[in-house]
Amino acid sequence: MKDSHPESGEHGSSASSDQRLVYVIPEESSLRIDDDSIDVARIWNIVWRKKWLILAISGIFAIASIVYALTLTHWYRSEMLLAPADEKTMNTGIAGQLGSLAGLAGISIGGGGNAEALAVLRSRDFTRAFVEEQNMLPVLFADKWDAEGNRWLDEDSEKWPNVSDAARYFGSNMRRISESRETGMVTVAIEWTDPHLAASWVDTLIERLNDHMRSRALEQAQENVDYLEAELATTSGFAMQQAVARLLEREHQKLMLARGNMEFAFRVIDSAEVSDTPVRPNRRLMVIVATLFGGVLAVFFVLARHFAQAPATGGDERAST
């Protein structure tokens, strides 16, 4: 019986210690929650007391963005939907059998597809030639050009924009090219401040591309014809003569098809139209973003100013709120 009392005392002490541990944890967590709630309430009260200042700053940003958006120039987009032109090639029969001979002779008997045409369209040389042909320098850099005097405003000729500058501007800011991998369709668009010029430039751009690709094909086919005719004149074997004759016939067909096909690289599915709806700038979005930015900036300003002027001790500050 005497031995049982110490055991009961030990159990009693452990139970009481367990109870203390259980009651201490919720009290600390509740204190943290209360502190967080107080901080959120303080911040809300600070913002609410300065709501008119925040609204005023947001309004200033909104008005400034409206004024700025109204000064921006409208840009219009004119686009054309294109389909790759059908390849006029014969990839079966004798052409396939003579592929090795054509390779040895350095002759191409297959079409390059629209990948080559798109690469040419994006190339610097083609873009520079188009910009120079359309005399785009005074148009693209109108702020530096004296239309009445037909000269550049700057006296220093080294500061005059050149064709390369215009080609870079045209390729990065005005021309848009997209290709659908599913259908193979290509959309070529030009964005400019004059919708009539944008539509005219798209039409001319695709026309020049087809002419350029057709001229290249004609030149290559004519070189192949000249080479094959020379080979045919010097070849003695009958089988070899037949093979060269077949290749020569094929190159003559390519010449005829290229001469009669004006839409050599791309066929126009949907022609360009003069747009009356600007694509940029998006003035509504600019105003919304500027107003929201002004409001967020105003809230940070109010909070930073309040806490910078707050006393070192937090008790009086919480009481004042």
Residue 135 pLDDT: 93
Predicted confidence at residue 91, as pLDDT, reads: 38
309 belongs to a structural domain:
yes
The rounded Cα 243 to chain-centroid distance in angstroms is 49
Q: 173 and 92 share a domain?
A: yes
Cα 191-197-199 angle, rounded to 5 deg: 70
The whole model's pTM is what? 0.65
Same domain (yes/no): 298, 224: no
Based on the domain organization, do 125 and 205 belong to the same domain?
yes
DSSP 85: P
Q: Read off the pLDDT of residues 185-243 as tens digits, 9 standing for 90 and up.
A: 999 999 999 999 999 999 999 999 999 988 888 888 888 888 887 877 787 777 777 78
Secondary structure (3-state) at 191: strand
State the total domains in the chain: 2
Q: Are 201 and 192 in contact (CB under 8 A)?
A: yes
- 193 and 286 co-located in one domain: no
Residue type, 61: F
Question: CB under 8 Å to 254, separation ≥6 — which residues?
Answer: 88, 217, 221
> Which amino acid would we find at residue 238?
F
Closest alpha carbon to 109 in 245, 210, 247:
247
Residues 195 and 305 in one domain: no
The pairs formed by 302-308 with CB atoms below 8 angstroms and a separation of 24 or more are 302/46, 302/47, 302/50, 302/53, 302/54, 303/43, 303/46, 303/47, 306/46, 306/50
Model confidence band, residue 246 (pLDDT cutoffs 50, 70, 90): confident
Residue 38, in any domain of the structure: no
Q: Can you tell me whether residue 316 is helix, strand or coil?
A: helix
